[in-house]
DNA sequence: ATAACATATGAATACATGTTCATGTGTATA
DNA sequence: TATACACATGAACATGTATTCATATGTTAT
């Protein structure tokens, strides 16, 4: 066996036709991984609050820290994660750095999520 | 001080008006928590694959395990998480349990996520 | 230049979580 | 009733991650 992980499932195969069909129509593994990584960014209470706050207004780091009653450091770390995921962008004005949303999909994704939990 | 966590941020307040305005228009903490929990479910490579597979067809646990080349146990645990989040439902036919999607928002959320990572 | 302030960041810690392993439950069949 | 199969589940383990703490960077004003 070339791949040591090739047979993790020892079930009797029931619907090979479905398995083959589904497999051939799945997005690439890289795409799926990237999507999971994206949703992981949404899946944190602090980050979802930051995102939700930025729907209304651009804010500086200290504003967000005050709003959420958290340390400047914690917020800064999370803004870094959000920026890496290309969900927020920032601009510097003197000592102050302002963050705002950087994606048109974010609001839509958030709203659909909210719709689900409120259904 | 009534709340021991009330002053985690020691920044000089810069934009109190924005903070007040944003705070008064934020969804409730419970809603935000629920949304984060929902996206946390999407934010796992195995679960996103399961969701994506179920877009195409209902599948039994062993089918999914074979498709993803993972143990039946691991898949079963993740299906439990998905069901708790009301993203999938199941039906039993004899010994076999078939899982399928149980939400109209899921596809939209996934597609928007895919659109973001492919942009 | 020095002090003050806003922000960023590396390391450490504490907590959450995904998979495995062993085993239990439910259903069909011999 | 006994066996086999599909699935579920609790505990253990390993890994990932959010926050804190200390400190560094960058900018402004004195």
Does residue A20 belong to any structural domain of this protein? no
Q: Is residue B94 one of the residues assigned to a domain? A: yes
Q: How far is residue A90's CA from residue B37's CA, in Å, rounded to a whole number?
A: 27
Could you tell me the CATH number of the domain that includes residue B51?
Answer: 1.10.10.10
Residues of A in contact with B11 (CB under 8 A): 61-62, 65-66, 72
Largest CA distance in chain A: 65
Identify whether the C-beta of residue B117 lies closer than 8 Å to the C-beta of residue A31: yes
Going residue by residue through chain B, which has 119 residues, state the pLDDT in tens, using 9 for 90 and above. 333 334 566 667 678 999 999 999 999 999 999 999 999 999 999 999 999 999 999 999 999 999 999 999 999 999 999 999 999 999 999 999 999 999 888 999 999 999 999 98
User: What is the total count of domains within chain A?
Assistant: 1
Interfacial B residues in 4-43 facing A (CB < 8 Å): 5-15, 18-19, 21-23, 25-27, 31-43
Domain housing B48: 35-118
Is residue B66 a part of any domain in this protein?
Answer: yes
Do residues B59 and A15 touch, judged by C-beta distance below 8 A? yes
Residue A3 inside a domain? The answer is no
Nearest to A57 among B22, B44, B65 (CB): B22
Among A24, A33, A36, A37, which would you mutate to test the B interface (most chain B Cβ atoms within 10 Å of its Cβ)?
A36
- Which two structure tokens, joined as six digits, stand for A21? 């069909």
Angle at which helix A29-42 crosses helix A45-54, to 10 degrees, equals 80
Q: Which residue, B36, B41, B65, B43, is CA-closest to B53?
A: B65
Q: In 3D, which of A106, A77, A118 has the Cα closest to residue B27?
A: A118
Indicate whether B100 belongs to any domain.
Answer: yes
Say if CB B49 and CB A26 are below 8 A apart: yes
């Amino acid at each position: 066996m070339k791949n040591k992980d090739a047979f993790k499932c020892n079930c009797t195969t029931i619907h090979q036709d479905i398995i083959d069909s589904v497999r051939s129509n799945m997005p690439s593994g890289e795409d799926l991984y990237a999507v999971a990584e994206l949703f992981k960014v949404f899946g944190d209470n602090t980050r979802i609050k930051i995102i939700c706050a930025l729907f209304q207004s651009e804010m500086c780091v200290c504003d967000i820290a005050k709003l959420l009653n958290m340390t400047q450091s914690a917020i800064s770390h999370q803004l870094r994660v959000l920026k890496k995921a290309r969900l927020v962008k920032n601009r510097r004005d003197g000592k102050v750095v302002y963050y705002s949303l950087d994606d048109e999909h974010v609001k839509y994704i958030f709203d659909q999520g909210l719709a689900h939990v409120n259904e």
